[in-house]
Amino acid sequence: MHLHILGICGTFMGGLALIARAAGHKVTGCDAGVYPPMSTQLSEQGIELIEGFGPEQMALKPDLYVIGNVVSRGNPLMEAILESGARYVSGPQWLGDNILPGAHVLAVAGTHGKTTTSSMLAWILEAAGLAPNFLIGGVAQDLHVSARYDPARRPFVIEADEYDTAFFDKRSKFVHYRPRTAVLNNLEYDHADIFPDLAAIETQFHHLVRTIPASGRIIRPTHSEALDRVIARGCWSETVTFGADGAWQAGAPDDSGAFEVRRDGVDMGTVRWTLGGEHNRMNALAALAAAEHAGVPAAEGVEALSRFGGVKRRMELRGTVNGVKVYDDFAHHPTAIATTLEGLRRQVGPARILAVLEPRSNTMKLGAMAARLPDSLRDADLVFCFGARAGKHALGWNPAEVLAPLGERASSYDDIDALVAAVTHAARPGDQVLVMSNGGFGGIHGKLLAALEARG
């Protein structure tokens, strides 16, 4: 079958394209701004990429158009598809109908930590010799790719996003996955462009819970009122908890970051790694509980996590110049920003942290979380915020006003070069520069490293 994928360079749709190709389909695709690294991965697999969404692509005459959620009404190719009466389907539905049936689907959902927990889980299964299939919104250092598929393998780890499926299907993506093992990592308000309030997101999580079989397992943290409400609406599967008072617990980390894991009060071993932060210990517990449901003993999972190398763009050290370290992190929600800074603070002690922030997500651009930003940045010594005044990523609020409670610690810029110059001027040996954005941020990491090198 020939599939033509609209929005192919997004992480999810690009991964889906790789999976479809591995399943034996002919795959072509298009996007606005075909760009690496996804474009490189796709081209290496013989997938033809077309720039833009021109209606002339109808001449390809694929058997099916697979639509990503970046496509909306008014898209010229989509309008041509609708006029022609050609067959089309959303990416998540195609995956759910054609790839996931018969698989042991291990889905990782939640407001935060989906990519990291999915990567940990896939790595544990890989280390146990299960060679899982997976589709993850990032690249784990140990797995090397974001998606992999072999129809002979039953485990399938998938990052289960609550964002809507497509312009014609406003259900969350994860309702199409029908998991047997589901991690509900946490639940907060997010995606203000899609959901009016937290209750609307809870409804989508409840729909996910309704699809899990009685022999399935739901893994969730203790002390989450939002998830309490989700489960109270109906639950037909085993529920396993992690965190304080949970079935799975993590001991306090030592100076190296290593911590003990306990399952029902029994010591399962020590995870020996350098990843910082309470959030990563919770992600680890969730991954261990999910891997156990797929047949990996807890002690074996703990040993595997001790060899986990982390995920790109999750506290990834991009370089060190003259004693100044520059990190890249995907944090873009106030809770994620706060936990990321907290983890770095515990790691570096009294060293200065320079937080460089791009509020780029739709939720942040709309200002739904802006009031929470000052408190989320409390562990930073200096804060540099980028806010475009016009264009696709323009903010609907004034960063200078929002960050005013931080006083002289905070400054805002609408020009990346000016931002780079300010950070470079402020940085001194021993500083930790933490760049946080869910986008490319104009290649700021390379610009900062180059500017620091030039400064000498």
The pLDDT tens digits of the residues spanning 135-166 come to 998 766 677 788 999 999 999 999 999 989 99
pLDDT of 363 reads 60
Report the alpha-carbon angle 66-70-76, nearest 5.
75
With bands split at pLDDT 50, 70 and 90, how would you rate the model's confidence at 408? confident
Residue 369: pLDDT band (50, 70, 90) is: low
Q: Edge to edge, what strands does the sheet with 410-413 contain?
A: 316-321, 324-329, 432-436, 353-357, 382-386, 410-413
Phi, psi of 116 (to 5 degrees): -65, -45
Mean pLDDT value across residues 284-312:
91
- CA distance readout (Å), 66 to 63, 175, 177, 195: 10, 17, 16, 24
What pLDDT was estimated at residue 313?
64
Confidence of residue 410 (pLDDT cuts 50, 70, 90): confident
All CATH 3.90.190.20 domain ranges of the chain, comma separated, are 316-454
* Interior angle at CA 379, CA 424 and CA 419, nearest 5: 25
Helix, strand, or coil (residue 237): coil
Residue 275 has pLDDT above 80, yes or no: no
Region 286-311 average pLDDT: 92
Start and end residues for every CATH 3.40.1190.10 domain found in the chain: 100-306
The whole-number average pLDDT for the span 247-262 is 89
Does position 443 have pLDDT exceeding 60, yes or no? yes
Q: Where are the beta strands (DSSP E) in 232-291?
A: 238-242, 248-250, 259-263, 266-271
Phi/psi at 425 (nearest 5 deg)?
Answer: -65, -35
Q: Which residues are annotated as a binding site for ATP?
A: 110-116
> Structure tokens of 70?
């970046």
Given a cut of 90, is residue 40 above it in pLDDT? no
Task: Report residue 136: phi and psi, to 5°.
Answer: -130, 145
Window from 111-125, 310-324, 341-355 with minimum mean pLDDT: 310-324
Mean pLDDT of 290-312: 90
pLDDT at position 390 over 60: no
User: For 48-99, what is each residue's pLDDT tens digit?
Assistant: 999 999 999 999 999 999 999 999 999 999 999 999 999 999 999 999 999 9
Q: Is the backbone peptide bond immediately before 37 cis, with ω within 30 degrees of 0?
A: yes
Please give the CATH topology (third level) of the domain spanning 100-306: UDP-N-acetylmuramoyl-L-alanine:D-glutamate ligase (3.40.1190)
pLDDT value of residue 340: 82
What per-residue confidence (pLDDT) applies to 93?
97
Task: Choose between 139 and 211: higher pLDDT.
Answer: 211
**42: closest CA among 71, 84, 7?**
7
Q: Are strands 266-271 and 164-166 parallel, antiparallel or unpaired?
A: unpaired
Residue with tokens 């932060």: 277
As a whole number of Å, the end-to-end CA separation of the chain is 57
Which tokens is 189 given?
């308000």
Binding site listing: 110-116
pLDDT at 392 (0 to 100):
58
* C-alpha–C-alpha distance, residues 388 and 201, integer Å: 29
Mean pLDDT of 307-333: 79
Least confident residue range of 60-74, 107-121, 367-381, 423-437: 367-381
Averaged pLDDT for residues 420-449: 85
Enter the pTM of the model. Answer: 0.76
Q: What is the pLDDT of residue 196?
A: 85
The residue ranking higher by pLDDT, 70 or 35, is: 70
Homologous superfamily of the 316-454 domain (CATH): Mur ligase, C-terminal domain (3.90.190.20)
What type of residue sits at position 313? R
Cβ neighbors of 185 (< 8 A, separation 6 or more) are 108, 109, 110, 111, 112, 113, 114, 117, 220, 221, 282, 283, 286
CB of 5 closer than 8 Å to CB of 68: yes
Q: Which of 161, 98, 105 is nearest to 133 (CA)?
A: 105
CATH architecture type of domain 2-91: 3-Layer(aba) Sandwich (3.40)
Q: Where does CATH 3.40.50.720 sit in the chain?
A: 2-91
Confidence at 133, pLDDT banded by 50, 70, 90: very high
Give CA–CA dist 405/403, Å, rounded: 5
- 387 pLDDT band, cuts 50/70/90, is confident
